[in-house]
Amino acid sequence: MSRVAIVGVGQTRYSRESGRSEWQLAVEAISNALTDCGIDPGDVDGLVRYSYDNVDEAMIVRSFGLKLRYYSQTGFGGLGAPATLAHAYAAVASGQARVVVCYRSLNGRSTTRYGRAERSLGTGGGDLIATGDRAPSGAFAGPYGMLSPGQVMAMWARRYQWEAGLTEDELAAAMGRIAVDQRAYARANPDAVMGGRPLDQAGYLAGRVIATPLRIFDLALETDGAAALVVTDAAVGPRPAVWIRSAIQGLIPYAESIATYGELRNGPTYRSLGSRLLQDADVKPADLVSASIYDATSVSVLLGLEGYGIYPVNGAARAVIEHGIGPESPLPVNTSGGHLSEAYVHGMNLVIEAVRQVRGESMNQIPRSGPVLVASGPSGLVLAP
């Protein structure tokens, strides 16, 4: 097995209004990640970023005086979040690069509000509606008011309820438990935007309904902030190395938009990708110590728990109602508070939390050593000490 490790992590403060450019935020996060592992910018020879990022490679190269041998991008936003590390893993394992920095920077609240429709709507011809087949916002979705990710994921949630044979109250109990448990993690995390705001099940149920069956607490935050990670071929620096055991960057029909023409994210193709990821790491679901599961909405966590084989298909809701996703649960999930309660850095803060768990440095450290899953739909990583 190739030896490729995440050796450095860095981030900015997470806020609703950074007052700084995305470029400044990216530079700060990358600088912090390099400091974390004691690597000099002169040794960085690879960069991976999101195609969605407004801070391009040249801006980073200029800022740090980098001399790159390798750079690449992952597409489709959060779908590719763990895949930035997959690119770094491949580049280092193949010798194309030795030290690769992955980053994501966004003013996701103060500049482009990530939960809103305008992000995906076209502006041609004075009308807002986008062309083509996307959902949300395409010509076959927008006319019906399916304009934002939350509105489409509400469709997933209702369908999941039906397929799993849940009452509306049971679905709310499961999604509420995710929101409440992630908020409890955020309470112990000084970086968490919502750390000062306790939430219990009654508070969850009293939350404003956004699009049934989703309430305000089911939806990811919108955040200004940046996060970065450093990947190389050896244990470098003062922190414990976090080895990448397997990686997958999947794409299947209708995964890239969140359209509803294809499988739910617990469907057979997703499960097959998830099982392949764990198999490549020689890990069974029961071996996992914790997980970061992309939570654009709370229902994504239920679907991810099934897609990666933690619980049987249509079994996650009842398991979560019974056990939750807290520190005592069979698999603690999103232990920083996740996108629902820590910050929305488009998946990168979830990768950082997984690294912290493997290092033993989380603010909500799970006191066992072993592999940690990072999952975002069809893309994922297994990290291990």
Partner 1 sequence: MARADVPTIDSASAPYWEAAREGRLMIASCGACSKVHHYPRPFCPHCWSEDVHPVEATGSGTLYTYSIVYVNDLAPFKDRLPYVAAIVALDEGPRLMTTIEGADPGDLQVGMPVTAAFRPVDGDDPDSPYLTVFTPIKEHA
Residues involved in catalysis: 294, 344
Nearer to partner 1, 2 or 162 (CB): 162
Select from 211-219, 222-230, 339-347, 357-365 the region that touches partner 1 (CB under 8 A).
211-219
Which of 34, 164, 210, 351 binds partner 1 (CB under 8 A)? It is: 210
CB of 315 to partner 1, least distance (A): 19
- Look up residue 119 and give its amino acid: R
Using CB atoms within 10 A of its CB, is residue 106 exposed (0-12), middle (13-18) or buried (19+)?
buried
Q: Map the footprint of partner 1 across residues 252-281, applying CB under 8 A.
A: 253, 260-261
One residue of 62, 67, 159, 368 binding partner 1 per CB under 8 A? 159
**Which part of the chain contacts partner 1 (CB under 8 A), choosing from 191-199, 206-214, 265-273, 307-315?**
206-214
Residue 324 one-letter amino acid = G
> For partner 1, how many residues bind (rule: CB under 8 A)?
43
Residue 135 or 175: the one with the smaller Cβ distance to partner 1 is: 135
> Would you count residue 211 as binding partner 1 (CB under 8 A)?
yes
Select 147 or 348, whichever has its Cβ closest to partner 1.
147
Q: Please report how close the Cβ of residue 180 comes to partner 1 at its closest, in angstroms.
A: 22
What part of residues 306-365 is at the interface with partner 1 (CB under 8 A)? none
CA distances from 309 to 215, 314, 385 (A): 27, 11, 22
For helices 298-307 and 149-163, angle between their N-to-C axes, nearest 10 degrees: 50
Identify the residue among 162, 169, 284, 322 touching partner 1 (CB under 8 A).
Answer: 162
- Residues within window 97-156 making contact with partner 1, judged by CB under 8 A: 117, 121-122, 124-133, 135, 139-148, 151, 154-156
For residue 97, the Cα-to-chain-centroid distance in whole angstroms is 25
CB 224 within 8 A of CB 17: yes
Question: Among residues 94 and 131, whose Cβ is nearest to partner 1?
Answer: 131
x/- letters, 216..255, toward partner 1 (CB under 8 A): -------------------------------------x--
Q: Does 205 bind partner 1 (CB under 8 A)?
A: no
Shorter beta-carbon distance to partner 1: residue 27 or 121: 121
- Conformation bin of residue 348: beta by default, left when phi > 0, alpha when psi is -120 to 50: alpha
Query: In this structure, are residues 331 and 156 in contact, taking their beta carbons and an 8 Å threshold?
Result: no
| CB of residue 221 to partner 1, shortest distance in Å | 16
The answer to whether 171 contacts partner 1 (rule: CB under 8 A) is no
**168 binding partner 1? (CB under 8 A):** no
Q: Which of residues 22-81 bind partner 1 (CB under 8 A)?
A: none
How many residues are there in the chain? 385
Report the Cα 177 to chain-centroid distance in Å: 19
Cβ atoms of 130 and 120 closer than 8 Å: yes
**What tokens were used for 174?**
């499961």
The SS3 call for residue 104 is strand
Burial class (CB in 10 A: 0-12, 13-18, 19+), 1: exposed
**Where do the DSSP E strands lie in 190-309?**
209-211, 214-215, 224-232, 242-249, 290-293
Is residue 367 close enough to count as binding partner 1 by CB under 8 A?
A: no
Token digits of residue 378? 């069809």
When the beta carbons of 42 and 132 are compared against partner 1, the nearer one is 132
Does position 197 interact with partner 1 (CB under 8 A)? The reply is no
Say how far apart CA 280 and CA 297 lie, in whole Å.
Answer: 28
If binding is defined by CB under 8 A, does position 302 make contact with partner 1? no
Residue closer to partner 1 (CB basis): 163 or 322: 163
Helix intervals (H) in 227-361: 268-280, 298-307, 316-323, 338-341, 348-359
Contact residues: partner 1, CB under 8 A: 117, 121-122, 124-133, 135, 139-148, 151, 154-159, 161-162, 208-214, 253, 260-261
